[in-house]
Amino acid sequence: MFSLGLRSFLFNVGWYVGTTIIAIVGAPILVLPRRYVVAWSLFWIDFCLGWLRLTCRLTHRVRGLENLPAGPVILACKHQSSWETLAFSKIFPQSATVLKRELLFIPVVGWAMARVGNIAVERGEGAKALRSLVRQAKQTLAEGRSILIFPEGTRVAIGAEKPYQVGTAALYRQLGVPVVPVALNSGVFWGRRKFIKWPGVIDVEVLPAIPPGLDRETFMTTLRARIEEATDRLVKAAQR
């Protein structure tokens, strides 16, 4: 445990120090065209994931990429850890992540989130937030980019349950594109609000797409069943 604690401490120190340096040095990039901001963001993510691999011996693998249809889709992803907020920009390039609007006010990092074209929504605004989500998502699809959303709306610890939010169903109904469920087991290694990062391999599994046209209840039942069943399988495999 001491080794795990020391490795996790080194990761956190390097993460915060490295992020601060990259943010300060690269801040002028924010005024350049979007492609430069994207490249800078990916450099930061490569640093974070590389440092995680070096200090905590934690890596990942992705299965099922052949299940991604051609063209833009809605990626509905399980959310267990801070890890996927880093790695998914690499795994699913050119996708726009649906995130809390308040994150955009973080100096430099939040500004970069906005500049790369993510979708920001205000929590607690009900119908207004849904209209904003759909409007921004339609613009993202028009640019030829996919939308990445966490149906539960927040990180959920292993073993806990949280209802799937209406945002995913609204996008499915309004956009008319396939929804691709994504399962993972990141919480086994990097738990929600946990300091220790355990060594191992995080599994991400891209599941078969749900075609457009289902009624809302059938869609939500199908989405939840596919994500939760695959996630339970991945978690159990990692805990053996």
34 part of a folded domain: no
Instruction: Give the three-state DSSP class for 210.
Output: strand
CATH number at residue 115: 3.40.1130.10
- Mean pLDDT by runs of 10 across the 240 residues of the chain is 86 94 91 91 95 97 95 96 93 91 82 86 76 92 95 91 91 96 97 91 98 95 97 92
How high is the pLDDT of residue 2? 57
Q: Which pairs from 93-98 meet CB under 8 Å and 24+ separation?
A: 94/144, 94/145, 94/146, 95/145, 95/146, 95/147, 95/148, 96/136, 96/137, 96/140, 96/145, 96/146, 96/147, 96/148, 97/148, 97/149, 98/133, 98/137, 98/147, 98/148, 98/149, 98/150, 98/167
For the whole model, what pTM was predicted?
A: 0.92
> The domain containing residue 199 runs over which residues?
58-239
Q: Single out the residue of 95, 109, 183, 167 nearest to residue 133, CA to CA.
A: 167
Domain count, the chain: 1
The verdict on residue 67 lying in a domain is yes
**176, 177, 219, 223, 234 from 213: Cα distances, Å:** 7, 9, 9, 14, 29
Residue 177 maps to a domain: yes
Q: Is residue 44 part of a domain?
A: no
Determine, yes or no, domain membership for 6. no
Does residue 179 belong to any structural domain of this protein? yes
DSSP states along 99-145? EEGGGGGSTTHHHHHHHTT-EEE-TT-THHHHHHHHHHHHHHHHTT-
Domain membership flag for residue 111: yes
Give domain status of residue 229, yes or no: yes
| DSSP 8-state symbol, 27 | G
pLDDT value for 193? 82
Q: What is the Cα 61 distance to its own chain's centre? A: 15
SS3 240: coil
Is the separation of the CB atoms in 80 and 187 below 8 Å?
Answer: yes
Alpha carbon distance 117, 68 (integer Å): 21
